[in-house]
Amino acid sequence: MTTADEGDNNPGAEADLGPFVQRILLGARLRAARESIELSSTEATKALGWYAGKLSKIEQGDVPTSDKDLAAAIRAFKIGPKEAGELQRLASLARRKLPPSRVAEWAAKYVHLVAAARELKLWNADAFPGTVQTADYARAQLERVVTVRPADVEPMAQDRAKRVERLRAPGAPRLWLVVGEEALHRSIGGPETLRGQLEQVRDLAELENVSVQVMPFSAGAHASHGVSFSIVNLMEGRPGLVYVAGLTTSDYLGREHQRVYDLVFDKLRADALSPQGTIELINRRIAEL
């Protein structure tokens, strides 16, 4: 992983990450402040006079935080002037409205999270995820998604292809990718498109910040049948978010869930082929196509 600079350790001083991410960072810092004075969520809710569940929504970044609510939390959590100023700025940025997106808000949120991530752990059983897709592969996949308008297929495919470049750029996130062997055989877009996708994944695997492993058919049962997921870590030393997508919505699971998903991901990596064995398998598939 690349070395953190001052902005990485101080989310309030980072480049503009977008309101979705800033909301999550604000919630994480408020939760850290509450826990630092050993105040439980129930105790804090009572002290703040909020309805049950409101504090949880703010800490998880599910809702914007008003100036009034933030001021109340700053007092209740005994937050100092410097930190309070940074939180007020972050809250203001997090309340901005983004221009309309080509995708639903729940999907757009994930795109912003990935763009701001310091570390990504991705598991997908039957295809390569959007984070590593070529434009041709993305186009072929998006054309079959019933919730994507035909006019949006090409722009979305190009957007996915551009996201790959962040993995090659300075300050790139650490990526751990595990895919099922089916991804090497499912002919999304046809043999030429699949070959191009495999070649791109092979090239990415040569980067120091990227690790790619394949779960072979021969491994039999594994730890996550029927559930593909992403673990997005935004800050070092702090829990991130688990993203589980469906056809029309998605779930963003917080720190109480991440321990389980981290354990599952570790088991997937342990059962998968080694990075070198993965490259050898990918090369054989490329030669076959």
CATH of the domain at 141: 3.30.870
Task: Clarify whether residues 62 and 127 are in a common domain.
Answer: no
Grade residue 156 by pLDDT with cuts at 50, 70 and 90. Answer: very high
Grade residue 8 by pLDDT with cuts at 50, 70 and 90. Answer: very low
Rounded to an integer, what distance in angstroms lies between the CA atom of residue 192 and that of residue 251? 34
Task: Clarify whether residues 128 and 252 are in a common domain.
Answer: yes
Task: Clarify whether residues 163 and 86 are in a common domain.
Answer: no
Amino acid of residue 87: L
Residue 146: partners with Cβ closer than 8 Å, 6 or more residues away: 247
- Structural domain count of the chain: 2
Among residues 51, 68, 94, which one ends one of the domains?
94
Rounded to an integer, what distance in angstroms lies between the CA atom of residue 228 and that of residue 119? 17
Residue 237 has pLDDT above 80, yes or no: no
pLDDT in the model for residue 256: 75
Burial class for 270, CB neighbours closer than 10 Å (0-12, 13-18, 19+) = exposed
Rounded to an integer, what distance in angstroms lies between the CA atom of residue 289 and that of residue 194? 8
- Reported as a single tens digit per residue, the pLDDT across 103-147 is 656 566 778 888 889 999 999 999 999 999 999 999 999 999 998
Q: Convert 131-142 to b/e letters by CB count within 10 Å (16 or more is b).
A: bbbbbbbbbbbb
CATH of the domain at 77: 1.10.260.40
- Reported as a single tens digit per residue, the pLDDT across 193-228 is 999 999 999 999 999 999 999 999 999 999 999 999
Q: Residue range 63-91: average pLDDT?
A: 94
Mean pLDDT, the chain, integer: 88
DSSP H helices, the chain, are 6-9, 19-36, 41-48, 54-59, 67-76, 81-94, 105-116, 135-142, 150-166, 191-205, 255-271, 275-288
- Contact between 19 and 93 under an 8 Å Cβ cutoff? The reply is yes
Can you give the residue range of the structural domain that contains 49? Answer: 6-94
Residue 88 has pLDDT above 60, yes or no: yes
- Contact between 163 and 131 under an 8 Å Cβ cutoff? The reply is yes
Beta pairing, strands 174-180 & 241-245: unpaired
Does this model's pTM top 0.85? My answer is: no
Residue 149 has pLDDT above 70, yes or no: yes
Rounded to an integer, what distance in angstroms lies between the CA atom of residue 232 and that of residue 196? 26
| Domain assignment of residue 114, yes or no | yes
| Domain assignment of residue 100, yes or no | no
In the numeric block, which tokens belong to residue 265? 């991901």
Residue 239 has pLDDT above 80, yes or no: no
Rounded to an integer, what distance in angstroms lies between the CA atom of residue 257 and that of residue 179? 21
pLDDT in the model for residue 105: 61
| Domain assignment of residue 99, yes or no | no
pLDDT in the model for residue 1: 30
